[in-house]
Chain A
Amino acid sequence: MNERFAAAARLLPDYLSQHVLLSAAALALGFLISVPLVVMASRSARVRWPVLGFASVVQTVPSLALLALFYPLLLALSSASRHVFGHGFSALGFLPSLLALTLYSMLPILRNGVTGLANLDPAVIEAARGVGMTERQRLLRIELPLAAPVLMAGLRTAAVWVIGGATLSTPVGQTSLGNYIFSGLQIEDWVSVLFGCIAAVALALMADQLLGLIEAGVAKRKPRKIWLGVGLLVAGVAAAGVGSVAAGSRSTYVIGAKNFAEQYILAALMADRIKKEGYSSTSRVDLGSVIAFRALASNGIDAYIDYSGTVWSTVMNRHDAPPRLQMLEEMRVQLRREHGVLLLGALGFENAYALAMRRDRAEALGIRTIADLAQHAPALRIGGDFEFFARSEWRALRDRYGLRFRQQRQFQPTFLYRAATSDEVDVISAASSDGRIKAYDLVVLEDPQQVIPPYDAIVLVSPARAADPVLHRALEPLVGAIPIDLMREANYMVDRDTDRMPPGKVAQWLESAIHLHP
């Protein structure tokens, strides 16, 4: 408990400063865009309804979806810019998060601003015209100062929304307090989840209080309160800026990871190896499967571990299943040629999609292979992770073996194994390197027709780092060094129900277990 708390606390400066910078940038941008729109909307009904309507629609889009939608959009823009200007930009991380959160922040500011201006005393407006103010003078001297408290209240609401919403920027590769929550959820580290929640809530409350101070200062016309609030906010953002610059200057390499225990462990292992070479690194964790490769190909991250079968089907769009070595060789050539990505080598174990059942149930039904399973399938229920049923492997399995299940359900990976043991489903999609297969006494069904392609864990390096000697020195010793049993054992240390260890610790254990150094 204490150890996990300490591990979480160590990450706080980086996560918090990134979170603060992202939220502050989104709010500032949202405010700067919204205020002119508010003024235009208050002057003309033709602007008012489209603007408020658009902001309301944006608000109804789930924030995670909004973030996810900006990724392909920016990717397209980036490749367009690469064609036109000769260089693109990273479609991952800060930019999509900033844009989505900016949009998200606009509704409360717009709505309050328009309401604030619309509800001003008409006598005051008439007086402003009567004493000889121009439109602009009326706006700056009378309307905006009088509507400011309502506008500030809108900014406060926006701040709370944005700080909460920023936790969702983790899956598009932006470090935030959401890293605690997403990683914690994957490996059932509730200390980490709680730590992230509390930190985000505390940050939101603090921002809300400071903006409240400014709001009160504006409403009661106490300049001292306004400047105190502004000063503290600016100081907070500046501190975050310093913190993140400090973190940024220390790290030379960026290691990516998808969203499960094995990926966290291997990312930590790679980071350790780089550190031993005397260089620092940061990690981008919880990347979506396809996002990770795109990020690598566009140099958003420098290296990560993927699986040959995944790359084969999702990146190369191949649906045949050649023998292992032939597949790796073709992949090495094609990735280098088409994406500039270096396939450094295979780690030595496979993490393949497999179908698994509880041992007692499988034995009772006499099921050993997927072919056996097909005969019983109409009476059975299958559970998969969010990706599984959309993948070509599942379609291939289903069609080749003629699998028809009674029911098909989706689970978060963490809950998938539970679902099998608690008899919510009969068959699950499992990962062959998962420690829980052994721990929960599941059996992996054989695939006699070899429908599922090999899933060797492979080290991929970005085009920009393909010839980087440090990365080669650090990562080459890992090639062929991790047998399946060792990886399962390591995974289980993170995934087991009691006495769980943080991935970083397990990486150290794994490193000493594979005798990388004398």
Chain B
Amino acid sequence: MISFQNVSKSFDEGRDFAVRDVSFSVAPKAFVALVGDSGSGKTTLLKMINRLIEPDRGLVCVAGESVQSVPGYSLRRRIGYVFQGIGLFPHMSVAENVGITPLLLGWPKPQIAARAAELIDLVELPRSYLARMPSELSGGQQQRVGVARALAARPSIMLMDEPFGALDPVTRDTLGSEYRRLHESMGLTTVMVTHDVMEAVLLGDRIIVVRQGEIVADGAPHQLLTEHPDAGVRALMDMPRRQAERVRILMQERTRRE
């Protein structure tokens, strides 16, 4: 579905590489989590898929075709994009925000309205919210609209850049698992950037660890959790396990006291 062949990207004319000679591919309907520290190059990788960033070298393909073969805007209309900044258009209603990509694609008006209503149900907001302005929504509600907007033109690929990073933990968890269900039910291919390993482990069915522009680990969560030759990867993947361990012990103590 998505493939990278020897892709490199530098933002300072080759002194440092944000992405260095990376190759990997993503199968249809996969949920891939890209994890790494800030500055590791994971967001650069993600944005090269929908050409928000252009690679210096190498080939990025989507559905078997080079992303360079179509104009960037046209490519982006086929790929959903959700990011931490949310970026709802403040001068448009929720319905207009959700309907923007279908509008750009020239869908008829009634069809756009029907699609907006359908999506607002899907992200579990009341229909009355369609008429609201973004400023009237909470952060979690805004990102629900963000997800709806990304899904509006029926993309098969969703790119998510720390989508729930700015939300409170409860909302983050709820939205994460709700999105995972949408991913299943709609048969989407999702690539999600996160620095939260727990989130990656819980949502993804494949984790790619990026460090200094290179892939240092790539596998199913349970594989990476159990063993890995790289010390850094082990330390990274240790965290969710230790957290889980601590929670388990706490729960046992409580049961014992009762």
A binds B: yes
Does B147 touch A at the CB level, under 8 Å?
Answer: no
- Mask of B79-112 contacts with A, CB within 8 angstroms, 1/0: 0010101111111000000001100110000000
Q: Which of A127-135, A163-171, A202-210, A471-479 contacts B (4 or more CB under 8 A)?
A: A127-135
Name the interface size band of chain A: 20 to 34
Neighbour of A145 across the interface among B74, B86, B91, CB < 8 A? B91
Is the CB–CB distance between B104 and A131 below 8 Å? yes
Is the CB–CB distance between B83 and A130 below 8 Å? yes
Does B20 touch A at the CB level, under 8 Å?
Answer: no
Does A122 touch B at the CB level, under 8 Å?
Answer: yes
Q: Which residues of B contact A130 (CB under 8 A)?
A: 50, 52, 76, 81, 83, 87, 150
Closest CB in chain A relative to B75 CB, distance in Å: 8
Is the CB–CB distance between A131 and B77 below 8 Å? yes
Q: Which residues of A contact B81 (CB under 8 A)?
A: 127, 130-131
* Given known A-B contacts A132-B104, A133-B104, A127 and B87 have beta carbons under 8 A apart: yes
Alpha-carbon distance A123/B72, docked complex (angstroms): 18
Is the CB–CB distance between B89 and A142 below 8 Å? yes
Is the CB–CB distance between A127 and B76 below 8 Å? no
Neighbour of A146 across the interface among B85, B88, B91, CB < 8 A? B91
Is the CB–CB distance between A124 and B104 below 8 Å? no
Does A126 touch B at the CB level, under 8 Å?
Answer: yes
Is the CB–CB distance between B73 and A124 below 8 Å? no
Q: Which residues of A contact B50 (CB under 8 A)?
A: 130
Q: Which residue of A lies closest to B84 (CB)?
A: A123
Q: Which residues of B contact A134 (CB under 8 A)?
A: 71, 73
Does B144 touch A at the CB level, under 8 Å?
Answer: no
Closest CB in chain A relative to B88 CB, distance in Å: 7
Q: Which residues of B contact A123 (CB under 8 A)?
A: 83, 85-87
Alpha-carbon distance A131/B150, docked complex (angstroms): 7
Closest CB in chain A relative to B74 CB, distance in Å: 7
Is the CB–CB distance between A124 and B101 below 8 Å? no
Is the CB–CB distance between B77 and A129 below 8 Å? no
Does A251 touch B at the CB level, under 8 Å?
Answer: no
Alpha-carbon distance A134/B73, docked complex (angstroms): 6
Is the CB–CB distance between A126 and B89 below 8 Å? no
Closest CB in chain A relative to B129 CB, distance in Å: 18
Is the CB–CB distance between A137 and B104 below 8 Å? yes
Alpha-carbon distance A127/B74, docked complex (angstroms): 14
Interface residues of B in 95-150 (CB under 8 A from A): 100-101, 104-105, 149-150
Q: Which residues of A contact B72 (CB under 8 A)?
A: 129
Closest CB in chain A relative to B1 CB, distance in Å: 19
Interface residues of B in 27-80 (CB under 8 A from A): 50, 52, 71-78
Q: Which residues of B contact A137 (CB under 8 A)?
A: 73, 104
Q: Which residues of B contact A338 (CB under 8 A)?
A: none
Does A361 touch B at the CB level, under 8 Å?
Answer: no
Q: Which residue of B lies closest to A218 (CB)?
A: B91
Closest CB in chain A relative to B155 CB, distance in Å: 10
Is the CB–CB distance between B74 and A132 below 8 Å? yes
Does A221 touch B at the CB level, under 8 Å?
Answer: yes
Does A121 touch B at the CB level, under 8 Å?
Answer: yes
Q: Which residues of A contact B91 (CB under 8 A)?
A: 145-146, 221
Neighbour of B85 across the interface among A122, A131, A141, A142, CB < 8 A? A122
Is the CB–CB distance between A131 and B101 below 8 Å? yes
Alpha-carbon distance A181/B5, docked complex (angstroms): 76
Is the CB–CB distance between A124 and B83 below 8 Å? no
Q: Which residue of B lies closest to A219 (CB)?
A: B91
Closest CB in chain B relative to A265 CB, distance in Å: 60
Alpha-carbon distance A127/B90, docked complex (angstroms): 11
Q: Which residues of B contact A124 (CB under 8 A)?
A: 87-90
Closest CB in chain A relative to B189 CB, distance in Å: 17
Closest CB in chain B relative to A215 CB, distance in Å: 15
Q: Which residue of A lies closest to B52 (CB)?
A: A129
Q: Which residues of A contact B104 (CB under 8 A)?
A: 131-133, 137
Q: Which residue of A lies closest to B75 (CB)?
A: A132
Is the CB–CB distance between B52 and A126 below 8 Å? yes
User: Which of B71, B85, B101 has the largest count of A CB atoms less than 10 A from its CB?
Assistant: B85
Q: Which residues of B contact A145 (CB under 8 A)?
A: 91
Interface residues of B in 225-248 (CB under 8 A from A): none
Is the CB–CB distance between B101 and A126 below 8 Å? no
Is the CB–CB distance between B76 and A131 below 8 Å? yes
* Given known A-B contacts A132-B76, A132-B77, A126 and B90 have beta carbons under 8 A apart: no
Alpha-carbon distance A146/B135, docked complex (angstroms): 14
Closest CB in chain B relative to A293 CB, distance in Å: 57
Q: Which residues of A contact B52 (CB under 8 A)?
A: 126, 129-130
- Mask of A401-438 contacts with B, CB within 8 angstroms, 1/0: 00000000000000000000000000000000000000
Alpha-carbon distance A82/B221, docked complex (angstroms): 84
**24 A-B contact pairs sorted by A residue (CB < 8 Å):** A121-B85, A121-B90, A124-B90, A125-B87, A126-B52, A127-B83, A127-B85, A127-B87, A127-B89, A129-B76, A130-B52, A130-B83, A130-B150, A131-B100, A132-B73, A132-B76, A132-B77, A132-B78, A132-B101, A132-B105, A134-B71, A137-B104, A142-B89, A145-B91
- Kindly list 11 other residue pairs between chains A and B, CB separation below 8 angstroms, not including A127-B87, A127-B88: A121-B90, A122-B85, A123-B86, A124-B90, A130-B81, A131-B76, A131-B101, A131-B150, A132-B73, A132-B101, A134-B71
Residues in chain B within 8 A of chain A (CB atoms): 50, 52, 71-78, 81, 83, 85-91, 100-101, 104-105, 149-150
